[in-house]
A and B are shown apart, each in its own frame.
Chain A
Amino acid sequence: MKPDKAITKALTRQENPGLPPGFESRMMAQIYRAEAKRKRQTFLLNIGLLSLTSLGLIGLAAYLLRDYLSEIALRMPSLHLSSEAASQYGFGFYIAFLILVLIVTDHCIRHFIQKKRAKH
């Protein structure tokens, strides 16, 4: 279909005025304004989230102090590990170690793929 020379010529003949002078600098000024606005919004959002989290933690601490802390008797527990309990602890540590290894491997693979994609 491409050699429709008449259509191509008619399209290129249409008057096509260039951009008014100073367009790019005006546009960049708008971009900087948008960036400043975004930064301000992110800052306010972060402050809001931090305040909410802090308030939540303070509230939780106050609740714990009021209801439970007074009833807790502070004493050091004495540990008597039987061989059965020790093997269970060992198994628990093994699983935790395995999960850690898998997470690190996953992170490395993702990092490698991302790097490869960025190269392409």
Chain B
Amino acid sequence: MTSDTPVLGISELHAGIDDTPILRGIDLNIPPGEIHAIMGRNGSGKTTAANIIMGHPDFEVTKGSVELDGEDLLEMEPWERARAGVFLSFQYPQAVPGLQVGNFLRKSVAAIRGEEEAKGAEFRKKLKDAMTQLDIDRSFLGRYVNDGFSGGEKKRFEILQLLLIQPKLAILDETDSGLDIDGIRTVAKGINNAVRGTGSSALIITHYSRILEHVQPDKVHVLIKGQIVKSGGPELALELEERGYEWLEKEAEGLA
């Protein structure tokens, strides 16, 4: 690994599900400390990209590579990817009835960061700070993972995990959907604290630019029909907000 090895390096990625291609040749590099955003309409392949980086077994990679710090991620099981430093904040986090939030957080931090980091006063303090930051009440720890959580609670819980796990690469899949303005602000603060100033990188997946007003991306990529058709600075998000996706779709068709 050299100093210019990206944290996330994707090249020529083709992937799909049940013989239906979804991603059709993606190249993306996120250098250390940078936040990138992938924007696109529903069905453009954004969530597929997130799932493939994390290793969802339903998707098949037909071509290309995905690397974390120069290491081949595609060879790893999902839990090995997590331990290597990939974190996915889910669009639809799953409920696990009977599994207490506090217990789950401790077990997950232990699995990813090691037993030592998941016990003692230091862990408790970190947990308390993160919960305060995200405006989460203490009683939350006794509830069951995502069981009966509101949409906003689910998203806050994902960011709470992000703050405790401190991954090298955080992928945030539609973290802003289903949140009101205050919710977006709170969650964005969590993301900034987890990524900015820690040397981590992040990939924000969204179809609105709203969250990007609070988490300033270094680069924005537009995904249309499984391909990145345009990349630019934060101003590209604003342009999309104003003009929509249609002009880019037309451009993309023109290119094809």
Q: Do A and B interact?
A: no
Binding site for B on A (CB under 8 A): none
